[in-house]
Structure 1
Amino acid sequence: MGLLENFSSGLFIIQSVIFLILLFVLGKFAWKPILTALNEREVSIQDAINQAKLAKEEVANLKADNERIIREAKAERDAILKEARELKDKIVGEAKDLAKSEGDKMIEQAKQSINAEKNAAMADIKNQIGSLSVEIAETILKQKLDNADAHNALVEKIINKSNLN
């Protein structure tokens, strides 16, 4: 057993030396690049997280800006609609006033035309009545004044009447 123990202990020492050499080689060539890569990865992940936070804040700001722009657009639309309604009411009111004014003018012109036609008709009727009266009086006088005595009596009556006036 002595040999086996010596061999085992020698093997243990050799394995320990190989392990230490391996640790030294890994420490010299592998650990630094691995740790550097891990640190770079951690930094890049942290940068990505920070950029994601910034992007999230930017999206929130854009959303707030969009909501503000939408509110302003709605307010502007409401103002434009209100102005359009007021303009429509004003135009309709002016049109009604103009129509009423034109209607009143037309009614007044119709009244004046009716009065003018009425006056012309009355004058025509008076002329016709005057002509008829003269014709009737002429006919009556011709019948009554066929004899000379009636004619002389009428002339005296007219002269006496005109002297009194």
Structure 2
Amino acid sequence: MSNPSGDAADDQTGRFVAQPNGRPRPLSPHLQVWRWHVTMLASILTRITGSALYFATALIVLWLGAMAFGPEAYATFVALAGSPLGLLVWFGLTVSLMYHFAAGVRHLVWDAGAGLTPKSANTASHLSIWFGILASVGFWIALFATGKVTL
């Protein structure tokens, strides 16, 4: 339901409020209200990749546990981690790590008070996303090229 008159005072739903400039704004903004931009995507990706890194930590604990439980457990873990599905999971976690690192650097720059204009914020967001992808692809190409990982 919209506010046809555009006046917050005429709103019968209670979902709009008049801002100091007189324009009506939603009381609680939603995605359909805001115009989508790359900094929104970067913010969402930072949260998703941070959560994925918790999963990566659990996998590392499982790896250490497999080493502690002996050669058979370790061989089972290595077989699962080296399977095509396992490699896909490790690749995704590498993207998460690389992107989250770049996003952290981006936030460090922002916390210093630099790069806060919309254009530079968008550029930094684009760069962090592309860094996460390209650094991960480069890392995995190097792993395959040196024979450290095979299918």
TM-score bin (small chain): under 0.3
Please report the TM-score for the alignment, with normalisation by the length of structure 1.
0.21
Please report the TM-score for the alignment, with normalisation by the length of structure 2.
0.23
Query: Would you tell me which structure has more helix in proportion to its own residues?
Result: 1
